[in-house]
Structure 1
Amino acid sequence: MFDNLTSRLSGVIKSLRGEARLTESNIQAAMREVRMALLEADVALPVIKDFIERVKQKAIGREVMESLSPGQALVGVVHQELMAIMGGEKADLNLNTVPPAVILMAGLQGAGKTTSSGKLAKWLIDNKKKKVMLVSCDIYRPAAIDQLELLSSQVGADFFPVKVGQQPAAICVAALDYARKHHHDIIIVDTAGRLGIDQAMMDEITELEVLLKPIETLFVVDAMQGQDAVNTAKAFADALPLTGVILTKLDGDARGGAALSVRHVTGKPIKFTGVAEKLTGLEPFYPDRMASRILGMGDVLGLIEEAQRSADQKEAEKLMKKMKSGKGFDLDDFKMQFQQMKKMGGMSAMLDKLPHQLTQAAQNMKVDDKIINRTEGIINAMTREERAKPELIKASRKRRIAVGSGVSVQEVNRLLSQFEQARKMMKMVNKGGMAKMMRAVKGMLPQMR
């Protein structure tokens, strides 16, 4: 995500090295590069114009603290303004109403409305401990109704059944009555979409909005559409009293234009982003964290939160006991670390939240999910005894493991070397040697040579 924009902005910062202060001249040159970077990222022109003007006004003549370089000072201004165009503060869901709170999902066909409805239900159940019911008003696509029913069962939400021939308005009235009687906290209503904006669709969803009086009307839009996503969002914002936006497929959008444009163009905050296909792949949107990611600083807080959500508590406690005792860290524990990484969305999802320099280093080492899978395969080819006592693995065993996992003996040796580094790191943590541990971290990651 944002790879090109991040690289271009990093280049702008480097260009200011050697400058004593921020001046109109060097800011002008830097802003030309920033403008080009934003154009390439498919950011809307009005957004670029406003952004550049605000950065110039705040940066020119700014006093640079002794501890900062002009480049670092400019980063501070750019970070502040990136936050501003994406909304400034995090916008929370408004659930402050007499239950059931109604959330109406709007958007074009293919944007990810139905999947986002299921993901949002899971987020509300897991994070807000709410009793949620999902309702489909997409009577034109029976497959969408079936999909939402399946998602309901997967996330632990109730599903309101739709009768053949029922119209959207009748479905909503019946669902609302059912939810009141069965004490649901929240109803999420998935509406029909079209391949393009048409009057019939807008009339139908406007009728549902008046009927349901939703506390939240969320527009779901595909980030990979770039400028089209922003234009579509504006059309819906003009027709409906939207309260927020869900930006889907953000992990697949290398440019990032929609994330930077949609708030400025529509005036509606981005409340969630879809970042993976799995049902946990919906994240609250933090403008400050996204600005940090764009500037190559990563989102370490987001990474920690994801680790906490994905962690197997029992396994984590078992590993902590081993670390405290300084004994028993074996290849099964080592494999568990990679499985944990996969639960968090894999290596690509983790790298996306790391600072840009670390991401580049990992890419240079060719660290990816295929190599992690191969590492797991090597460990799976070992016997239970070998995983518990790696010192047993000598030449003949290495050859058998290599054949069993379809790799070379050199790769088996490399894995065992990485395991030893990880084991040493565990001992360092136990002894309080954090500085030594950090030096050992780079040796833990599986890599190809």
Structure 2
Amino acid sequence: MFDNLSDRLAKSFKAITGQGRLTESNIKDALRDVRRALLEADVALPVVKTFIDKVQERAIGQEVSTSLNPGQAFIKIVREQLTDVMGQEAEPLNFNVEPPAIIMVAGLQGAGKTTSVGKLARWLKEREKKKVMVVSADVYRPAAIKQLETLAEQVDVSFFPSSADEDPVDIAKKAHAEAKKQFVDVLILDTAGRLHIDEDMMQEVQRLHTAIKPVETLFVVDAMTGQDAANTAKAFNDALPLTGVVLTKTDGDARGGAALSIREITGKPIKFIGAGEKTEALESFHPDRMAGRILGMGDVLSLIEDAESKIDQKKAQKFAKKMQKSGQFDLEDFLEQLQQINSMGGVGGLMGKMPGMGQMKGQINNEAVEKDFKRLEAIIYSMTRQERAHPAIIKGSRKKRIANGSGTSVQDINKLMKQFTQMQKMMKKVSKGGMKNMMRGMAGKMPPGMGGMLPPGMR
């Protein structure tokens, strides 16, 4: 998300670099480019107008401190204004009620509502350590009930059964009673979606809301619909007291107009963003961090949170001790590092959150990387324990056997061994001279010109 906007803004900021002071004339072109970039990102026109007016008001005539050049001062103003448009601070879910806290999820059909319920259940269980139950009140689409049951099994949370011949309010009340009996912390209610906003749909969700009085009412909306997402959210908010928005399919939206329009148009915060079909592909929405991502400054805090929640800390500590003690790095370690990178959203996901790496993200084909990862995994799983521990013994006949066992070719084995050797050299540098040596090594392995895109301290 925001890839196109990030590229356009980066070009805009170059226009005012080298000036001694921000004046109306030298930021005029930059503001025009920012306005055009926001409109192309499908940000709602009233939001663009307000945004540009506020940036202009703050930027014109501002004295530049000795440590900042005008370009940096202008970027700082834009970042603060982006943060302000998206809501200043992250707004957490409210659990300040007698358990179970009920979260009602509403939205149009096809927005990814049921999938988001499964993702949210997993997020609450893993991040908030809550005991979660999910229930579907979508009596118009029996497949939705079965889909939620399958998701509940995948993320290992309780599922309250329902059927198409029941009344949605009765389903919700029964689920609430059962959740109390089982001492559940959070009950998530999935409601029926429609292809468009209609009176019957609004009356039903209003009836459900009145009956169960949820502490959170979240509206799930597809980011790819751009500013229409904000307008749809507003229509729902007029009929239902929403507490927040879940923005889905952000991995398919390179513009980001929905995220920049929703808060301003509805007055409601974006609480989560979803990217991809996997149940772990949900993250809290932090306006300040997102502003940093848009401007190519990365999102180190989210990266750290991902590492803390998704990386096996015991394995990581064991690996660190091993590297410090012996410096030995084998194929088992190689596979483990690849799996940890994959669990954090793959190389593309990491690049998007690392300062100065945003431009490189667009040069990575995530599908191809995922395919390569599966192939590497299959090859290593086809090796014996001895071969993984002592890669040097993997010669001609062993390569043929491994290739046959993994459904790959000897060329694929050779390619893996080359990648492993490069990683092994980097890891030895880490054990001897720390992260700086490893990053210098990585810069040398990048395509021409890309090494210079690393942040200054890592070049």
Q: Answer whether TM exceeds 0.5 for this pair.
A: yes
Partner of 2:333: 333
Bigger drift between 252-261 and 334-343 goes to: 334-343
How far apart in 1 are the matches of 2:365 and 2:165?
Answer: 58
Partner of 1:440: 441
Query: Is this contact kept in 2: 1:347–1:369, CA < 8 A?
Result: no
Question: Which whole-Å deviations, capped at 9, do the CAs of 1:351-390 have from their partners, x for residues lacking one?
Answer: 3323454642882899833444444455456554343223
Query: Is this contact kept in 1: 2:104–2:214, CA < 8 A?
Result: yes
Amino acid at match of 1:194: R
Bigger drift between 154-163 and 281-290 goes to: 154-163
How far apart in 2 are the matches of 1:377 and 1:444?
Answer: 25
Question: Which whole-Å deviations, capped at 9, do the CAs of 1:9-65 have from their partners, x for residues lacking one?
Answer: 000111212222211111111110001101110111111001001111111111112
How far apart in 1 are the matches of 2:365 and 2:174?
Answer: 57
Q: Does 1:29 align with 2:26?
A: no
Deviation, structure 1 residue 113: 1.3
Q: Give the 3 Å change call, closer, same or farther, for CA 365–66 of structure 1 in structure 2.
A: farther
Q: Does 1:265 align with 2:265?
A: yes
Q: Does 1:137 align with 2:137?
A: yes
How far apart in 2 are the matches of 1:225 and 1:168?
Answer: 28
- When the two structures are aligned, how many residues end up with a matched partner? 446
Question: Which whole-Å deviations, capped at 9, do the CAs of 1:225-278 have from their partners, x for residues lacking one?
Answer: 112211111100111111100111111111110011111110000011112211
How far apart in 2 are the matches of 1:342 and 1:444?
Answer: 20
Q: Give the 3 Å change call, closer, same or farther, for CA 40–365 of structure 1 in structure 2.
A: closer
Question: Unpaired segments of 5 or more residues in structure 2?
Answer: 449-459
Query: Is this contact kept in 2: 1:418–1:446, CA < 8 A?
Result: no
Amino acid at match of 1:387: R
Bigger drift between 126-135 and 371-380 goes to: 371-380
Amino acid at match of 1:428: K
Deviation, structure 1 residue 288: 0.7
Q: Does 1:429 align with 2:430?
A: yes
1:291-330 superposed matches below 5 A? 291-330=291-330
Q: TM-score, normalised by structure 1?
A: 0.91
How far apart in 1 are the matches of 2:356 and 2:436?
Answer: 22
Q: TM-score, normalised by structure 2?
A: 0.89
Partner of 1:389: 390
How far apart in 1 are the matches of 2:54 and 2:245?
Answer: 25
Query: Is this contact kept in 2: 1:103–1:216, CA < 8 A?
Result: yes
Identity of aligned residues (%): 57
1:178-189 superposed matches below 5 A? 178-189=178-189
Amino acid at match of 2:157: A
Q: Give the 3 Å change call, closer, same or farther, for CA 125–412 of structure 1 in structure 2.
A: closer
Deviation, structure 1 residue 93: 0.4
Q: Give the 3 Å change call, closer, same or farther, for CA 443–406 of structure 1 in structure 2.
A: farther
Q: Give the 3 Å change call, closer, same or farther, for CA 434–160 of structure 1 in structure 2.
A: closer
Q: Give the 3 Å change call, closer, same or farther, for CA 426–177 of structure 1 in structure 2.
A: same
Bigger drift between 356-365 and 179-188 goes to: 356-365
Partner of 1:46: 46
RMSD of Structure 2 on Structure 1 (CA): 2.6
Q: Does 1:210 align with 2:210?
A: yes
Partner of 2:221: 221
Deviation, structure 1 residue 279: 1.0
Partner of 1:368: 369
Partner of 2:235: 235
Q: Give the 3 Å change call, closer, same or farther, for CA 330–101 of structure 1 in structure 2.
A: same
1:381-420 superposed matches below 5 A? 383-393=384-394, 406=408, 409=411, 415-420=416-421
Secondary structure in structure 1 of the residue aligned to 2:363: helix
Partner of 2:123: 123
Partner of 1:149: 149
Deviation, structure 1 residue 336: 1.8
How far apart in 1 are the matches of 2:435 and 2:175?
Answer: 56
Bigger drift between 123-132 and 49-58 goes to: 123-132
Partner of 2:452: none
Q: Give the 3 Å change call, closer, same or farther, for CA 339–237 of structure 1 in structure 2.
A: same
Query: Is this contact kept in 2: 1:275–1:281, CA < 8 A?
Result: yes
How far apart in 1 are the matches of 2:209 and 2:326?
Answer: 60
Question: Unpaired segments of 5 or more residues in structure 1?
Answer: none
How far apart in 1 are the matches of 2:176 and 2:407?
Answer: 55
Amino acid at match of 1:133: M
Amino acid at match of 1:281: A
